[in-house]
Chain A
Amino acid sequence: MRRVMTDTRIADPSQAGGVDIFGFVARFAPMLFLIALMVLFAAIEPRFLSSINLFNVMRQVSITGLMAVGMTFVILTAGIDLSVGSLLAFAGLVAAAVAKGGLENRFTVGEGGVGYGWGLAALAAIAVGLAGGYLQGLAITRLKVPPFVVTLGGMSAFRGAALLFAAGGPISGFEPSFTWWGQGKIGPVPIPVIIFLAAAALAHVTLRYTRYGRQVYAVGGNPEAARLSGLNVNRVIASVYVIMGFFAGLGAFVLAARLNSAEAVAGTGYELTVIASVVIGGTSLFGGSGTIFGTVIGTILIGVLLNGLVLMNVSSYIQQIIIGVIIVLAVAFDTFAKSRRRKA
């Protein structure tokens, strides 16, 4: 590219010293907001702080949280995945069919006992997720179609596949060994919460301590610089959609286990909650900046907000309005923080 001639003598203004209070607040804003919210709800409605309620909140957010962990990888590369809800529905149906012992038996009511077991069902869900993510990753890197468009297409296509596969009805009634993954507990802790937190820990280690994690941040932060540093940018970009697919598949399995049912309309609107969790957690939609810890906070924050509003008898329609406003504010905050940093 031709460059506009710039005055090379303009001083670099970026050496401002001192303590950056604004930066500190910006970094811990989601955490501070969560604490404030919990204090507020606890003051208004003491039931909020009961351990049963808190575990309930955690269990409610565990599926979208699981997917938000995957979405963090995607958004770190400045990408987006709108197809997660649809992919989850499709993967859940496939897992359910496997658990029931094949498509012929899928509408057998009750615990037929002829299925292939939870293990194969889980693998099937994850395989569908991986394949869906891989396809989209290919389209983004090979066909050079923006992630927004590819996954918007995926959102429609996977939902269609789910509807086709379900042929109209839900697939319900699994063995206890299957439903344990969604309904069971270890001590007081629900299994989905354990899966969510374990996945978050694994993702945190990956992003923070592995070569691959570094590459995700580098590609998201500056793809051209990443390429000129010898990174395989396309492979990294494709891989984050595969990871997203993995978590959508895993989420599908856990959701089917929790509801003891899989249906084609499952996960409708999840993309909003999932993306919101990541963005509210401080991950920048511009890529290259964000943490899994932030995503966990963002996930819990949404859960707490919804739970608190329910306890206060706020209508679910108003809840949706509030979530929408908070997403826009979170991104506005990120943009504002970014321009502050540029000026600083």
Chain B
Amino acid sequence: MAHAPAALSSAPAKSRGPILKMTGISKRFPGVLALEDVHLEVGHAEIHALLGENGAGKSTLLKVLSGAHSADAGEIELYGEPVAFATPHDAQRAGIVTIYQEFTLAPDMTIAENVFIGREPGSKLFISWRRLSEDTRAITDKIGLKRDPMTLVRDLSVAEQQLVEIARALSMRSRLIVMDEPTSALSEAEVANLARIIGTLKSEGLSIIFVTHRLEEVFRLCDRFTVLRDGRYVGSGAVADVTVEAIIRMMVGRDVGALYGERPIPEHGPVALEVEGLTRRRTARDPHAIELVDVSLRAHKGEILGLAGLVGAGRTETARAIFGADRFDHGVIRIDGKEVSFAGPRDAMLHGIGLAPEDRKKQALFLRLAIRTNITIAAQDQISRGWFIDEGREAAVVDEFRRLLSIRMAGPDQLAGLLSGGNQQKVVLARWLALRPKILIVDEPTRGIDIGSKVEVHNLLIDMAKSGIAVIVISSELPEILAVSDRIVTMREGRVTGEIARNDATQEILMSMMTFHDAAGEARVRAS
């Protein structure tokens, strides 16, 4: 049976006060203060938006709330009573269920099994499939999931899987559902449906914490909001009393841009890379892939093109398609004006394209191999005589880039996994620079590296462009996009939504180009 939350029995459901009150929450990770004195208050039957840029501390705060992390300081009160969750299970028993971006469903089990996993009705030994099915249907009907409870989760769309997660939360009699970016993988129609369901839950007295990057949803769905920035509490209030601009200002702050000095926009060289009408559809084999619709862009020699957009906007997918790492359905890629087509990354490399992928550790580095192997693995042609590696030439290449990028390492035989994030990223950049590329795409160049190394990597990117390379930088961090780009293209939901020169762009303008459908034109008008 479902656990009846202990807190519920002692507190009247109609209580007027906040159901959740987090005060003075601090959380320190080795070397970093991730949260400092953060507050969050959620009322009864309230939909509360938790806002902030990537790295603002939202995820950490939610992990503290859900019992996945324990806070170093601060208090959590539920219905006015102090609580402490040691594990996610404790939080669930108290009525707080978190739905993460990555679902935790078992794809090869049925909807019903997933909803009641670990709490199946029946005797100690045997599951009552009839009751399991009936109980599930009672919940799924309420939230408009029109599927047989015996359907395998694998066969559901992302939106339907999300409903299964919600059904599971409801089956646990939860009073507070936390949704971490629930809409980032949904289409417009699916978002509308989710909005309707959230409305239903609210009318039944449930409260919801809603994390999103799409501000229009905040205004459409939410009652109140809280903004975090750099791990600190910035402010909160009623959505009705605030404007989009005000929220964006709270999110991005004013002081970030000061790190980067003024830099003139260089003269454009000739077009090095031209992409026209790049389109990629979902297939049966990959039904949850991010689609690309008619993506066109140009990159000039000697400039840095920033590709901005929210997570899931299709920036990474565009880069991978250009690099030949993923297939696409149609579209033309031209290099120096000549049409090309690549069977794989190797072809793209031979045409002078490099890609430093978004996930350094999973997609770029060989953590258990030596730094020198990591640097020279793509440039074996240069450092070999016949079948054999010429270790002298290899050492020369490694040394050249160690000095050029000031990579701090114990020696070329050190394992790449032992380097700091910043130095790891330099090793990845060195790998591509060793190939003397004409076009270099760098996806999230500074994700997870400290602020000092960030500025260093940014200067490297600027120097690369100065040397004549067409550099494309993809980043979720707007200050970064503004710091390095000469020209910025924004994407949303697999489409290009606008283009703007760096001098005309501000974080506010970019944010609205990235988050609002029709904002691209408007933003350009405002900018001029």
Contacts and interface: CB of A to CB of B under 8 A. Distances in A.
Contacts of B84: none
Contact of A11 (B31, B323, B366): B31
Interface stretch (A37-45, A204-212, A259-267): A204-212
Interface string B436-448: 0000000000011
B522 interface: no
Contacts of A284: 368
B421 A227 contact: no
Contact of B312 (A2, A215, A232): A2
B450 A212 contact: no
Interface of A, secondary structure class, is: loop
Contacts of A228: 323, 325, 345, 355, 357, 363-364
A217 B380 contact: no
A341 interface: yes
B494 to A, nearest CB: 13
A9 B373 contact: no
Contacts of B358: 3
Contacts of B31: 11, 13
Contacts of B388: 209-211
Contacts of B355: 228
B448 A12 contact: yes
B378 A7 contact: no
B360 to A, nearest CB: 9
Interface string A15-39: 1000000000000000000000000
Given A2-B102, A225-B364, A9 B311 contact: no
Contacts of A11: 29-32, 450
Contact of B32 (A10, A14, A229): A10
Contacts of A288: 366, 368-369
Interface string A78-101: 000000000000000000000000
B288 to A, nearest CB: 8
Contacts of A211: 380, 384, 387-389
Interface residues of A, number: 37
Given A14-B418, A15-B420, A209-B388, A227 B344 contact: yes
A6 interface: yes
B34 A5 contact: no
A339 interface: no
Most buried by B among A14, A215, A221, A230: A230
A5 B312 CA distance: 11
Most buried by A among B290, B384, B388: B388
B411 to A, nearest CB: 13
B358 to A, nearest CB: 8
B54 A8 contact: yes
Contacts of B184: 2
A6 B101 CA distance: 11
A293 B450 CA distance: 40
A111 interface: no
Interface stretch (B3-11, B55-63, B464-472): B55-63
B359 interface: yes
Interface of B, secondary structure class, is: loop
B348 to A, nearest CB: 8
A166 B369 CA distance: 46
Interface string B248-288: 00000000000000000000000000000000000000001
Nearest to A341: B417
A325 interface: no
A212 B377 CA distance: 11
Given A5-B54, A9-B55, A12-B448, A209 B368 contact: no
Given A222-B365, A228-B355, A2 B311 contact: yes
Contacts of A227: 325, 344-345
Interface in B47-82: 54-55, 57-60
A164 B369 CA distance: 45
Contact of B366 (A2, A12, A218, A232): A218
B481 interface: no
A7 B290 CA distance: 23
Contacts of B54: 5, 8
Most buried by B among A3, A215, A228: A228
Contact of A214 (B363, B377, B447): B377
B306 interface: no
A3 B359 contact: yes
Contact of A224 (B181, B288, B362, B419): B362
B59 A229 contact: no
A231 interface: yes
Given A3-B311, A9-B231, A231-B377, A289 B368 contact: yes
B57 A7 contact: yes
Nearest to A9: B32
B449 interface: yes
A107 B450 CA distance: 75
Among all A-B residue pairs, the 5 with the closest Cβ atoms: A11-B31, A8-B55, A221-B366, A230-B346, A229-B378
Given A11-B31, A13-B30, 10 more contacts: A7-B34, A11-B450, A209-B388, A211-B380, A211-B389, A212-B387, A214-B389, A222-B367, A228-B345, A289-B368
Interface of B: 29-32, 34, 54-55, 57-60, 100-102, 180-181, 184-185, 231, 288, 290, 311-312, 323, 325, 344-346, 349, 355, 357-359, 362-369, 373, 377-378, 380, 384, 387-389, 391, 417-421, 431, 447-450
7 contacts: A2-B288, A5-B311, A7-B57, A12-B420, A12-B449, A230-B344, A284-B368
